[in-house]
């Protein structure tokens, strides 16, 4: 089974999207694997802390230190000061996830959630291809 999940536009930041993903999936099997692939080069997917919002703030700040805007060594600058840093952050964080399915649910840990890591200041809708591999 494969489905395209459309996410609403979001500003730059780390956004919990676990419920949004789950609501757009059909009923999951008793067991299997769910692969999520983000079809973009300036955003990312991540699994991380789902309870304390300060984790998302600290992650964003850490990524900003690793790939700051307006760095003098960037040559890809035509799309704005946030574009090349967004590509670097997506390369560091990744654009796909593999999540086990157990008991008709994504088998995330108690404190785990799926993040859309939006690295552009203003971005449009994002698309994820969800592929379900039954067990």
Half-sphere exposure of 4 (CA within 13 A, CB side): 5
Alpha helices in the chain (DSSP H): 18-24, 53-66, 83-93
Confidence band, pLDDT 50/70/90 cuts, at residue 93: very high
Q: Is the pLDDT of residue 74 over 90?
A: yes
Q: What range defines the domain where residue 129 resides?
A: 2-134
Q: Is the pLDDT of residue 94 over 90?
A: yes
Average pLDDT on 112-120 reads 98
pLDDT of the residue at 79: 93
Specify the number of domains making up the chain: 1
Residue 53: alpha-carbon gap to chain centroid: 16
pLDDT of the residue at 115: 98
pLDDT of the residue at 103: 96
Query: What pTM did the predictor assign?
Result: 0.94
| Region for residue 6 given its phi and psi (left: phi exceeds 0; alpha: psi -120 to 50; beta: otherwise) | beta
- The tokens describing 61, both together, are 């700040």
CA separation for the pair 1, 9 (Å, rounded): 25
What ranges make up the beta strands (E) of 11-125?
11-16, 31-38, 43-49, 96-102, 105-106, 112-122
Confidence band, pLDDT 50/70/90 cuts, at residue 69: very high
Confidence band, pLDDT 50/70/90 cuts, at residue 61: very high
Confidence band, pLDDT 50/70/90 cuts, at residue 135: confident
Domain holding 98: CATH number?
2.60.120.460
């Amino acid at each position: 089974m494969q489905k395209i999940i459309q996410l609403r536009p979001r500003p730059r930041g780390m956004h919990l999207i676990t419920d949004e993903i789950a609501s757009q999936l059909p009923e999951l099997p008793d067991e299997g694997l769910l692969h999520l692939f983000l079809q973009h080069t300036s955003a990312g997917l991540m699994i991380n802390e789902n309870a304390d919002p300060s984790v998302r703030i600290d992650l964003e700040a850490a990524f900003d230190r690793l790939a700051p805007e307006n760095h003098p060594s960037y040559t890809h600058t035509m799309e704005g000061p946030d574009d090349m840093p967004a590509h670097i952050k997506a390369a560091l964080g990744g654009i796909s996830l593999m999540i086990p399915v157990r008991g008709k649910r994504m088998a995330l840990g108690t404190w785990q959630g799926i993040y859309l890591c939006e690295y552009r200041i203003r971005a449009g809708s994002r698309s994820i291809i969800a592929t379900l591999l039954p067990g």
